[in-house]
Amino acid sequence: MAVRRDVVADPEELAKTAAQRLLARIDAQRERIAVCLTGGSGPKRLFELLAGEFATRIPWSRVHWFIGDERFVPLDDELSNMGTARRMLLDGRAPAENIHGIPTELATLDDAALTYQRTLQAFYGADQLDPARPLFDLVLMGLGPDGHTASLFPDSPASAEQQRWVVGVETAHVSPFVPRVTLTLPTLASCREMLFLVGGAEKRAVLSRVLAGEDLPATRAHSLSETVWLIDRAARPEEFDA
């Protein structure tokens, strides 16, 4: 269980490095690849690069795209995490059957969470996660100002969930204040690489708490294999020497 922290110059280098890591994960697999995307503003430049200069290097037919958490809004709402990923990156490139979004059109959060859990289990081919066989090749993660990641907020039952793969979250602790559906920590941990994207001075205070080991969802989130924190200089806490 290795954890690495890499400091890069700025948001552009952050996105480029993330794109290169994604391609390296793809190149390491001969068969299908599973990538779990993140929401928020963090991955937007990465999506642009993947849709632009990196697009021809992605073997689209064998890459499957999932989302780590979703706001409970329609896909065409600008708050939708998968909606954003689709508009910026996937539509017109990824085959429709390789795009696995959380079904927010269902009646309740729990219906959406359980349906997505079944989608993940069908893709994985089992309903128990085997530590020796990761669900995802790469899981992208962001860091929220209160130490949340995905939609796992501090002191929320979702952040302590150990059995369910996916759960509903009625109340978001930060904007946008819409209900969410989120993968749980054990599900997110089932990956070859978890890659945090942390850029901008507004992340510095919370990153400092995470690096000090404070008990926050983002501190507890890790891959069973390799976890990489990609941090840009503006986000890097003063006390942290890379």
Residue among 51 and 73 whose Cβ is closer to ligand 6PG:
73
- Give the interface with ligand 6PG as residue ranges (CB under 6 A): 38-42, 69, 71, 81, 142-144, 148-151
Q: What whole-number distance in Å separates Cα of residue 138 and Cα of residue 223?
A: 9
Q: How far is the CB of 133 from ligand 6PG (least distance, A)?
A: 25
Residue among 23 and 79 whose Cβ is closer to ligand 6PG:
79
Starting at the edge strand found earlier in the chain, the sheet holding 69-71 runs 69-71, 180-183, 166-169
Q: How far is the CB of 159 from ligand 6PG (least distance, A)?
A: 12
Selection from 63, 76, 80 nearest residue 22 by Cα: 63
Q: How far is the CB of 170 from ligand 6PG (least distance, A)?
A: 15
Residue among 105 and 127 whose Cβ is closer to ligand 6PG:
105
Q: How far is the CB of 56 from ligand 6PG (least distance, A)?
A: 27
CA 217, distance to chain mean position in Å, is 13
Tell me which residue has its CB nearest to ligand 6PG: 142
Residue among 28 and 159 whose Cβ is closer to ligand 6PG:
159
CB 178, CB 71: distance < 8 Å: yes
Q: What whole-number distance in Å separates Cα of residue 150 and Cα of residue 152?
A: 6
Cis peptide leading into 176, omega within 30 of 0? yes
Residue among 134 and 147 whose Cβ is closer to ligand 6PG:
147
Q: How far is the CB of 142 from ligand 6PG (least distance, A)?
A: 2
Q: Sign of the C-alpha dihedral, residues 27, 17, 229, 166?
A: negative
